[in-house]
Amino acid sequence: MPNAGTLTINKLNKHYRVKDKDLHILDNVSLSIRPGEFVSIVGSSGCGKSTLLRLIIGLEADYQGDILLDGKPISGTSLDRGIVFQEHRLFPWLTVEQNVGLALENSTLPADEKQRSIQEHIELVGLRGFEKAYPHQLSGGMSQRVAIARGLVNRPEILLLDEPFGALDAMTKYKLQNELQHIWETEGITMILVTHDVEEAIYLGDRVVIMEPRPGRIKRILPVDLPRPRNRLDLDFVRLKEEILSEFGIDQQAEEEELAT
Amino acid sequence: MASLKDKLPAIDPRGFVLPLLLIVVWQAVTSSGWVDTRIIMPPSAVLSAGWKWLNSGLALESIGASLFRDASGFVLGAAAGITIGLLFGTSKLANNVFGPTFHTLKHISIFAWIPLLSAFFGRDDLAKIVFIAFATLYPVALATIEGVRSIAKSQYEVADVYGFTPRQALFRLILPAASPQIITGLHLGLIFAWLATMGAEFLLASTGEGLGMTVIRGRAAFRVDLIIFGMLIIGAFGMLLNELATRAESRLLHWRGHAR
Amino acid sequence: MSTIQSLDKPLVIEPLASLLPRISIPSLGNLPARFGRIGLGIIFPLLLLYLWQIATERVWLPPQLLPEPAFVWETLVDMVSSGELAGHLAVSLQRVLWSVLIGGSIGLAIGFAMGLSKTAKAYLYPSFSLFSQFPVIAWSPLMIIFFGIDEALKISTITVAVIVPFAVATYKGIENVPVKLREVGQIYQFSFAQTLWRIALPAALPAILGGVRQGAMQAWLALVFVELLASSEGLGYLLVYARNLMQLDVVMVCMATIGLVGLIFDFALGFIERHFSRWAPKGR
């Protein structure tokens, strides 16, 4: 069911005013994303990658430049665009089922279809049997699965992921990365992942966008021409990782020097 | 150094709309002759009656007497409250033996004690001060218990390691560590003490002088101007005490840093 | 130090725990220890009772000041069986109920207005904060002038006492709804009504229920005061009447009743509060 959108960002600039000081957050960011593409954005903290996502989702306004979804400028939030935050942001007083259902609150689907879609997506993220559980009864990984289900349930054209696995332990993280990739392949929607984990960016992305801070701008865009599912120990994978890390000034030489001392 | 402008809170003029509206309506209603001005007095009459009262010397006597009762009751009640709080907080035995009684009695609404206290202590200052002390005691004691209980076990272990005597533990560890809650409790106690002062003066108004008596006798004499002015003074002192306590609290607790 | 605060378990109805609402709840693991503790807690009241008995037997105080325990008990039984106590109690409770309904609605409205609208807050907050610092009972003389000493006086005074805790709790509760959750509503295109019903209200509910408890306590406090001040029926009236006749046995029965009602309020409303915030097991 291809239900994916083309996102075009053109010469995007964003400023904040903090106590009479002008902060330049995003500087001339231009990026074009194909329908069904998976784009990873990596960068150190303060490079404006989260602000970029907040602009695309429509939680921030006051920018210069264009953000177009299927040729139309975005304005405010829309059910076409979904997001998963680093913190799950589940409503603690609602069950898993009700939390996922929140996303369908304003959908035009008939009630029985809503219910079916909720059930399908809970199963998709592997939480069958937990429909009636409350968030405080779930682990961090399970909560994030619910958040992913909520992000997907209304079938957005584009799903934004703001460091969704940043707060999880390594094992859970690997597992969820695989599941996310599987979901992306089956649902065929456009996904934009913001992360500071280079390995995660390569593992999931068709392209990796490298951003640098002060002001936040795109430094380089690298295609990942590796067959999926990718092997993190594969030579090409490691080489690509080294190349990206070197963009951040972390290179093999430095590491060797560190080892020598 | 922050400039003065930064320190002063920005005043939003919209906040003055409601009080001004009230005064305007009040004045309009009273000067229009729609109402009996013996019952609803114009603001100007309240001010002039208040001014007369303030200049009569009676005001000073009343305010002084009320503040004296308030302060005596508060000091006694606070001292007793901290003592009880420390006892309950540090001794499990004391807490188990006296705690249930203490916590059950607190459910008796404080004013219900006044008839009994007046039977024992009469209607003069003694009964009032005992009552004010009693009203102060509970918030202070409860806050102190909470403060002592919140001290981490690891902090007690530090005291153990350095071989603190019980006296050292009290003054070096327990009191300073529990001081934020104790000070908050004292602040609450101050508010309760003023409420109790007014309550005692209203209910035991037959003898002595005081702000509460002035107001309640003003009612008997149908002096609405004096009642309203008295209320304003009572409210003003309540706010003043609260403001002083807030300042003292933030000064005393400055070591906790800005992130409260 | 075995007073472990139970975090995950909902509070179990245990008589002792209910008496210590602000204190950490004792762990329920050790049954004999628990009964031991209850036993310890009974020693002191029994001792007081014994002392009281001795004091009256040896007439340390005149009997008007300290009636015999048995006599107070008889008075209690008399007043209960004759329905006298119930009658006054019903009058008092009715006053509290009306005031909580009226004052609660006003307080909720003010709290919601200030919490939801920055404009409303700008107009209301300064006046409200001034009003809230006024000792409630200071209003009563003015109320007597306006409303006389009838039902309207009691209900208006108690209502004033109820407004502040309701409004403060509601306002704080609404204002503290996390921005992160409000953004989720924004993303799913929630209307104002949806934001109110699906986010603001449930998130603020524990705080609002805390305000209800506070409000009921304040109402009970103000009720006793205003009935002591001017009344012809109700528990406070009975208290003053008995005091003036130096019937301290009746005074004690009234005080016990007032305490019992306060305790039931605290316990019942605390229970409701915990029931509705059970989704937030930590940091009530």
Q: Where along chain C do its domains lie?
A: 1-60, 79-276
What's the N-to-C CA distance of chain A in angstroms? Answer: 56
Lowest mean pLDDT among A96-100, B124-128, B135-139, C63-67: C63-67
Q: Do chains B and C touch (3 or more CB pairs under 8 A)?
A: yes
Give the whole-angstrom CA distance, residue C90 versus residue C87: 5
Q: Shortest Cα distance from C151 to chain A (angstroms)?
A: 41
More confident residue, A251 or C77: C77
More confident residue, C8 or A123: A123
Domain B48-253 matching CATH 1.10.3720.10: the answer reads yes
Of C37, C138, C266, the CB nearest to B96: C37
Q: Where along chain A do its domains lie?
A: 90-155
CB pair distance less than 8 Å for A106 and C181: no
Among candidate residues A41, A34, A30, the one with its CA nearest the CA of residue A205: A41
More confident residue, C134 or C71: C71
> If you ran DSSP here, which 8-state letter would residue C199 be given?
I
Across the beta sheet with A38-42, what order do the strands follow? A81-84, A158-162, A190-195, A38-42, A207-212, A217-223
Of B93, B110, B120, the CB nearest to C221: B110
Among candidate residues B44, B47, B49, the one with its CA nearest the CA of residue B223: B49
Q: Residue C150: its pLDDT value, please? A: 83
A78 in C contact zone (CB under 8 Å): yes
Secondary structure (3-state) at A69: strand
B251 in C contact zone (CB under 8 Å): no
Q: What is the pLDDT of residues B62-96, one digit of tens each?
A: 899 999 999 999 999 999 999 999 999 888 888 88
Q: Residue C7: its pLDDT value, please? A: 31
Q: Which residues of chain C have a Cβ shorter than 8 Å from any chain A Cβ?
A: 180-181, 183-184, 186-191, 194, 198-199, 202-203, 205, 279-282
Q: Which residues of A168-201 are buried (b: 16+ CB within 10 A; e: fewer)?
A: beeebbbebbeebbebbeebebbbbbbbbbbbbb
Q: Residue C261: its pLDDT value, please? A: 93
Q: What is the pLDDT of residues A22-77, one digit of tens each?
A: 888 888 888 889 888 999 999 887 788 888 899 998 888 888 888 888 888 888 88
Domain C79-276 matching CATH 1.10.3720.10: the answer reads yes
Cβ of C213: how many Cβ atoms within 10 Å? 21
SS (H, E, C) chain B: CCCHHHHCCCCCHHHHHHHHHHHHHHHHHHHHCCCCCCCCCCHHHHHHHHHHHHHCCHHHHHHHHHHHHHHHHHHHHHHHHHHHHHHHHHCHHHHHHHHHHHHHHCCCCHHHHHHHHHHHHCCCHHHHHHHHHHHHHHHHHHHHHHHHHCCCHHHHHHHHHCCCCHHHHHHHHHHHHHHHHHHHHHHHHHHHHHHHHHHHHHHCCCCCCCHHHHHHHHHHCCCHHHHHHHHHHHHHHHHHHHHHHHHHHHHHCHHHCCCC
A92 in C contact zone (CB under 8 Å): yes
Taking contacts as CB-CB distances below 8 angstroms, the residues of chain B near C133 are: 235, 238-239, 242
pLDDT at C9 exceeding the cut of 50: no
Taking contacts as CB-CB distances below 8 angstroms, the residues of chain B near C40 are: 93, 96-97
Taking contacts as CB-CB distances below 8 angstroms, the residues of chain A near C280 are: 92-93, 136
The predicted complex's ipTM stands at 0.85
CB pair distance less than 8 Å for A77 and C181: no
Q: What is the pLDDT of residues A170-195, one digit of tens each?
A: 888 888 899 889 889 888 889 999 99
Q: What is the pLDDT of residues B118-162, one digit of tens each?
A: 988 888 889 999 999 999 999 999 999 999 988 888 888 887 788
Q: Where along chain B do its domains lie?
A: 48-253
Taking contacts as CB-CB distances below 8 angstroms, the residues of chain C near B145 are: 22-23
Q: What is the pLDDT of residues C18-39, one digit of tens each?
A: 333 333 444 445 556 666 667 7
> If you ran DSSP here, which 8-state letter would residue A136 be given?
G
Taking the CA atoms of residue B118, residue B120, residue B121 and residue B124 in that order, the dihedral angle to the nearest 10 degrees is 30
CB pair distance less than 8 Å for C190 and A106: yes
A89 in C contact zone (CB under 8 Å): yes
